[in-house]
Amino acid sequence: MQETLTCARCGRRMTRRRRWRDRPDTVRYCSDACRNRRIGQSDRALEAAIVSLLESRSASATICPSEAVRVVYPELPGSELRRHMEAARQAARRLIAAGSLEMLQRGHVVAPSTARGPIRLRLKRTPPEA
C-alpha cells in the first residue's frame, strides 16, 4: 500500500491513516470540501492552459499560474483574477501529481503540498541519459 496519496481535487498529499487500512483504493479526496466540489470544466481548462503555455515556450521556461488564469478568464479585470489563483495552483498540483510539471520557488524544485508564496511552473525535465 502507498504511504502517501494525492487528493484528486486539490492535488495535496495525504499521509496514510489507520482507517485506510481496510480500503486504501477508495480514498481519493483529502476532505469533504474536495469531495463535494469535483473537478469541473474550468479546472480542466486551467490545466490545459498551463500545459499549452509551457509547450509554446522553450523547454527551460517557466510560467506563473496567474498567466493560465488570464488565458482562461480574459474578460476579468486584474483584481478579480485573484479569486481563481487557488484553482490554478490546484490544477498545477494535479499536473505535478500526474508527473508532467515541476513547481519552483527561487529557482529550486519544491514539494507542491508545502509551497507557500510565489511559485513558478515548468515542464518536468527528463534526466540526461548516460
- Domains parsed from the chain with CATH numbers: 4-36 (no CATH), 41-123 (1.10.10.10)
pLDDT at 93 > cutoff 50:
yes
Beta-strand ranges (E) seen in 28-107 are: 101-105
Q: State the Cα–Cα distance between residues 31 and 10, nearest whole angstrom.
A: 10
Question: What angle do the packed helices 41-55 and 65-72 form, to 10 degrees?
Answer: 120
Q: Does residue 82 or residue 30 have the better pLDDT?
A: 82
User: Whole-model pTM?
Assistant: 0.80
Looking at the predicted structure, is the pLDDT value of residue 121 above 60? yes
C-alpha cell of residue 101: 510539471
| Closest CA relative to residue 50, chosen from 126, 102, 113, 108 | 102
The mean pLDDT of 77-101, rounded to a whole number, is: 89
- Cell numbers that stand for 84 in this block: 481563481
Q: How far apart are CA 36 and CA 81, in angstroms?
A: 23
**Segment 13-70, tens digit of pLDDT:** 777 777 666 666 677 777 778 777 888 898 899 999 999 999 999 888 999 999 999 9
